[in-house]
Chain A
């Protein structure tokens, strides 16, 4: 039997906040270097968290099996992150510190994150930058040859390191290069174009996975001593989001169905600066980096339904509503605040563009002040991308932007060791829930992914392996046989329906329900309706979807069908969570809970907890477990950016 009973012990180490990680590292059990190669670790996903974890765990001497759905591990969606990565280096001498980054992150998350995890993240943020520079990541530099920084939403210090508008790409290529180094050494075995379709639990512990080879269709069994999930977020439950097309919830949802708790699923981040929706054909939304808000000013016309060209609207007829409402932070308020303010203006009739669901992001005054060349040097690739998509020139007329789904703070529940309530299952990066509370600050996702992968999981996985008394097992174990049968059965069932609607059609329908009723603003009535509608769509999916092709071939329709089927189950869990949390906090805005000025109103007496949901069957209400959040250091206040 497993040594640990399933439950919600966050395993936060004792001692003062600033000493917890250090003392925890000392107290960890170590694996004898000669024994490390006897252990096998599976890492699913090769983004910043998975790539860095697989490389670092292999460097320690363990055998690693690395899996990704792409043709190459370098393609994970971390690559699309534009803006930057935070670190408490205080290279700008502007008063930054580990404590300040920690404090800003807990506050930015609207006091719904676990303090001890956030403090550890702030500490290791400095090591991440050192590591990446040593790998050859080409961060932006000043003429003196030292690293440049910029400021980002929700912070008043400049602590963000960046690589033009391609920070995620350069950091991912750094992690990918470390991974390739370990593949070459023989420590990592790479399995590309494999999709994880189930978790295998033996004797109460995570011991393996079932994957489908996406080229041949073959279903494979893989066994290990520990399993790390680094499979990203579930933003595509909304269909339209800034996530990549293949980003999905399947891997984490299958873990949930095997007993892992899903935490805070209603905490989703709507990013304020995305290119607006233009038509029904649209397959995804494109983010414009938040860094644009450093120099761009956001406004709408003061007059309702003003159809004039933006360049024809004089200065005194423009409403710079963020600067007006939040004079202290202005255009640099956190994402949730900026997004809601844009929605408020558009709903009130001040929106611009064809659909009236857009606001202006204007670089006119920055270009006047700094010159076009300086703006081009900072944001050239973003302006280029905008012009490609919108066919207008952002140097001569303002960009149009609107909020879009971008990141999910919720994820599988983990303790301080990043281990789920299922022993042996570790969850890293966006796939877990731990560090961003109800709202993630800009440039913190890259920090968390790499922090988990390079510096936390390699140690905590080792600690688990040193302690765990694993029983002998092989891939002929009944748990493997059953799991594979389940996977194959589901694939065959989907192929046999032969209905009349496409997979994408169902996905789009689900997305609209979620965006309208469980998106930027939520209320009890809408959530109740959404629950019914999702059930309806799911029932229709299993009766009328047309999944073409065969199981034994490269079949992208079948891949998407499986993912949409899981989103249709997951969406319910998200709605239950949003309904249960009757307060507003961070990205979760309950219309019933707001201040007179329309700001989010928290309810610390009743909701200062992390919700962790236990699966009880498809279509059945999951069971809620609560992890109380105790704040030892940070003082809870109403978040104010005025």
Chain B
């Protein structure tokens, strides 16, 4: 059984994307250390609701670490202190009695705040729309065994495909760069034979869309990899840079 702890929360409160935000302080007691971080917020919100206050808004859904909805910066770390973990899978046993937790949204110019901790990550969808797919229509596919794929390539593609699109990489980067997210999708598809015909246009268009969304540049801080709940490797960024250069040269020609 878990212990009970008392915490001080400093939470970013912002009514909507236009309003100015500020920190509000909440003292919370009797937090069971077996709770998840989001269940702790549920408890705080239930208290606020009972006093007819305005509960803290945050995105969440599966609470199994796979949908990519949740996320906050906790004491300066995206998704909090536990490596390879989304906020919903972070348990309160990682905190001690008396701790102060500063809770902020994933900040970036490209992610406007919807309310409090919830942000708009539509920019990620638009990057995928620019080329994060294989242009195969339903019904056009050959038999699944028609193209064997070496296990090593398949495994590497899978490692990149594990990205859940949460945006922690952007929040962790001092430049708010989305290079880890974009390179993971480029690598996933460009490593597979199915992705080859659109290899160049994919990387070219996705990178250009990323730039136009207002994400920053990569300066090799590797903070993104450290914050990524799926531990996606920065090697994907190097791979994408090489492919982008080649595609850009071909495009010039």
Q: Is A264 an interface residue (CB 8 A)?
A: no
A280 to B143, CA, bound (A): 50
- Assuming the contacts A59-B138, A80-B66, A244-B62, asked whether A282 and B39 have C-beta atoms less than 8 A apart, the reply is yes
Q: Is A554 an interface residue (CB 8 A)?
A: yes
Q: In the complex, how many angstroms separate the beta carbon of B216 from the nearest chain A beta carbon?
A: 21
- Assuming the contacts A59-B137, A71-B121, A134-B140, asked whether A548 and B151 have C-beta atoms less than 8 A apart, the reply is no
Please, which residues of chain A bring their CB within 8 A of the CB of B55?
548-549, 556-557
Closest A residue to B84 using CB positions? A384
A286 to B132, CA, bound (A): 30
Q: Are B115 and A553 closer than 8 Å at their CB atoms?
A: yes
Closest A residue to B89 using CB positions? A388
**A169, A176, A181: which contacts B66 (Cβ < 8 A)?**
A169
Q: Are B52 and A281 closer than 8 Å at their CB atoms?
A: no
Q: In the complex, how many angstroms separate the beta carbon of A77 from the nearest chain B beta carbon?
A: 6
**A131, A146, A282, A385: which contacts B148 (Cβ < 8 A)?**
A146
**A130, A146, A554: which contacts B114 (Cβ < 8 A)?**
A554
Q: Is A398 an interface residue (CB 8 A)?
A: no
Q: Are B158 and A164 closer than 8 Å at their CB atoms?
A: yes
Q: Is B150 an interface residue (CB 8 A)?
A: yes
Stretch from A33-41, A135-143, A318-326 forming part of the interface with B? A135-143
Stretch from B95-103, B160-168, B219-227, B241-249 forming part of the interface with A? B160-168
Q: Are A133 and B141 closer than 8 Å at their CB atoms?
A: yes
A300 to B93, CA, bound (A): 29
Closest A residue to B165 using CB positions? A74
- Assuming the contacts A136-B194, A145-B149, A388-B91, asked whether A215 and B114 have C-beta atoms less than 8 A apart, the reply is yes
Closest A residue to B50 using CB positions? A502
Q: Are B67 and A79 closer than 8 Å at their CB atoms?
A: yes
Q: Is B218 an interface residue (CB 8 A)?
A: no
Within 8 A of A (CB), among B167-221: 188-189, 192, 194-195
A129 to B144, CA, bound (A): 6
Q: Are A178 and B165 closer than 8 Å at their CB atoms?
A: no
- Assuming the contacts A59-B138, A135-B136, A354-B1, asked whether A80 and B15 have C-beta atoms less than 8 A apart, the reply is no
A135 to B64, CA, bound (A): 26
B-contact 0/1 string along A240-277, CB 8 Å cutoff: 00001110000000000000000000000000000000
Q: Is A190 an interface residue (CB 8 A)?
A: yes
Q: Are B138 and A546 closer than 8 Å at their CB atoms?
A: no
Stretch from B5-13, B73-81, B123-131 forming part of the interface with A? B123-131
- Assuming the contacts A146-B145, A554-B114, asked whether A75 and B154 have C-beta atoms less than 8 A apart, the reply is no
Please, which residues of chain B bring their CB within 8 A of the CB of A281?
32, 34-35, 39, 42-43
B-contact 0/1 string along A25-59, CB 8 Å cutoff: 00000000000000000000000000010011001
Closest B residue to A245 using CB positions? B61
Please, which residues of chain A bring their CB within 8 A of the CB of B161?
138, 170, 173
Please, which residues of chain B bring their CB within 8 A of the CB of A184?
129-130
Q: Is B21 an interface residue (CB 8 A)?
A: no
Q: Is B253 an interface residue (CB 8 A)?
A: no
**Chain B binding site: helix, strand, loop or mixed by DSSP?**
loop
Q: Is A278 an interface residue (CB 8 A)?
A: yes
Q: Are A391 and B93 closer than 8 Å at their CB atoms?
A: yes
Please, which residues of chain A bring their CB within 8 A of the CB of B195?
136
Q: Are B194 and A79 closer than 8 Å at their CB atoms?
A: no
- Assuming the contacts A55-B138, A183-B129, asked whether A147 and B46 have C-beta atoms less than 8 A apart, the reply is no
**A73, A89, A282, A557: which contacts B144 (Cβ < 8 A)?**
A89
Please, which residues of chain B bring their CB within 8 A of the CB of A134?
134, 136, 140-142, 194
Q: Is B20 an interface residue (CB 8 A)?
A: no
Q: Are A549 and B54 closer than 8 Å at their CB atoms?
A: yes
B-contact 0/1 string along A550-563, CB 8 Å cutoff: 00011011000000
Please, which residues of chain B bring their CB within 8 A of the CB of A140?
154
- Assuming the contacts A136-B134, A146-B148, asked whether A141 and B128 have C-beta atoms less than 8 A apart, the reply is no
Please, which residues of chain B bring their CB within 8 A of the CB of A546?
49-50, 52
**B68, B125, B164: which contacts A190 (Cβ < 8 A)?**
B125
A89 to B144, CA, bound (A): 9
**B132, B140, B154: which contacts A177 (Cβ < 8 A)?**
B132
Within 8 A of B (CB), among A188-247: 190, 192, 215, 244-246
Q: Are B128 and A180 closer than 8 Å at their CB atoms?
A: yes
A77 to B66, CA, bound (A): 9
Q: Are A504 and B46 closer than 8 Å at their CB atoms?
A: yes
Closest A residue to B160 using CB positions? A138
Q: Is B233 an interface residue (CB 8 A)?
A: no
A147 to B148, CA, bound (A): 8
- Assuming the contacts A131-B138, A135-B136, asked whether A283 and B61 have C-beta atoms less than 8 A apart, the reply is no
A8 to B93, CA, bound (A): 55
Please, which residues of chain B bring their CB within 8 A of the CB of A292?
none
- Chain A interface size band reads 35 or more
- Assuming the contacts A180-B125, A554-B57, asked whether A141 and B154 have C-beta atoms less than 8 A apart, the reply is yes
Q: In the complex, how many angstroms separate the beta carbon of A331 from the nearest chain B beta carbon?
A: 23
Q: Is B63 an interface residue (CB 8 A)?
A: yes
Q: Is A454 an interface residue (CB 8 A)?
A: yes
Q: Are B134 and A391 closer than 8 Å at their CB atoms?
A: no
Q: Is A72 an interface residue (CB 8 A)?
A: yes
A504 to B124, CA, bound (A): 32
Q: Are A553 and B132 closer than 8 Å at their CB atoms?
A: no
Q: In the complex, how many angstroms separate the beta carbon of B146 from the nearest chain A beta carbon?
A: 8
- Assuming the contacts A77-B62, A283-B63, A388-B89, asked whether A144 and B148 have C-beta atoms less than 8 A apart, the reply is yes
Q: In the complex, how many angstroms separate the beta carbon of B229 from the nearest chain A beta carbon?
A: 11
Please, which residues of chain B bring their CB within 8 A of the CB of A127?
139, 141
Q: Is A433 an interface residue (CB 8 A)?
A: no
Please, which residues of chain B bring their CB within 8 A of the CB of A141?
149, 151, 154
A56 to B64, CA, bound (A): 29
- Assuming the contacts A141-B154, A146-B145, A183-B129, asked whether A70 and B138 have C-beta atoms less than 8 A apart, the reply is no
Closest B residue to A547 using CB positions? B49
Within 8 A of A (CB), among B31-53: 32, 34-36, 38-39, 42-43, 46, 48-50, 52-53
Q: In the complex, how many angstroms separate the beta carbon of A320 from the nearest chain B beta carbon?
A: 28
Please, which residues of chain A bring their CB within 8 A of the CB of B36?
283, 389
Q: Are A70 and B145 closer than 8 Å at their CB atoms?
A: no
Q: Are B188 and A136 closer than 8 Å at their CB atoms?
A: yes
Q: Are A181 and B149 closer than 8 Å at their CB atoms?
A: no
A246 to B136, CA, bound (A): 31
Please, which residues of chain A bring their CB within 8 A of the CB of B145?
91, 146-147
Q: In the complex, how many angstroms separate the beta carbon of B158 from the nearest chain A beta carbon?
A: 4
**B1, B129, B148, B165: which contacts A145 (Cβ < 8 A)?**
B148
- Assuming the contacts A281-B32, A283-B42, A554-B115, asked whether A73 and B141 have C-beta atoms less than 8 A apart, the reply is no
A134 to B195, CA, bound (A): 9
Q: Are A180 and B194 closer than 8 Å at their CB atoms?
A: no
Please, which residues of chain B bring their CB within 8 A of the CB of A170?
158, 161
B-contact 0/1 string along A144-156, CB 8 Å cutoff: 1111000000000
Please, which residues of chain A bring their CB within 8 A of the CB of B139?
127, 131, 455
Q: Are B192 and A145 closer than 8 Å at their CB atoms?
A: no
- Assuming the contacts A70-B69, A146-B145, A557-B55, asked whether A135 and B134 have C-beta atoms less than 8 A apart, the reply is yes
10 A-B pairs with the lowest CB-CB distances in the bound complex, closest first? A145-B148, A177-B133, A134-B141, A130-B141, A138-B158, A56-B138, A133-B144, A244-B61, A554-B115, A184-B129
Using a CB–CB distance below 8 Å, which chain A residues touch chain B?
Answer: 52, 55-56, 59, 70-77, 79-80, 89, 91, 127, 129-136, 138-147, 163-164, 166, 168-170, 173, 176-178, 180-181, 183-184, 190, 192, 215, 244-246, 278-279, 281-284, 286-287, 354, 384-385, 388-389, 391, 454-455, 458, 498, 500, 502-505, 546, 548-549, 553-554, 556-557
19 pairs from A and B in contact (CB 8 Å cutoff): A59-B138, A72-B121, A72-B124, A127-B139, A131-B138, A163-B158, A178-B138, A180-B132, A183-B125, A245-B61, A278-B34, A283-B42, A384-B84, A388-B65, A388-B82, A389-B36, A548-B49, A548-B55, A554-B115
Known: A133-B194, A388-B82. 12 other contacts (CB 8 A): A56-B137, A70-B61, A141-B151, A169-B164, A181-B129, A183-B125, A244-B61, A281-B42, A385-B64, A454-B138, A502-B46, A556-B55
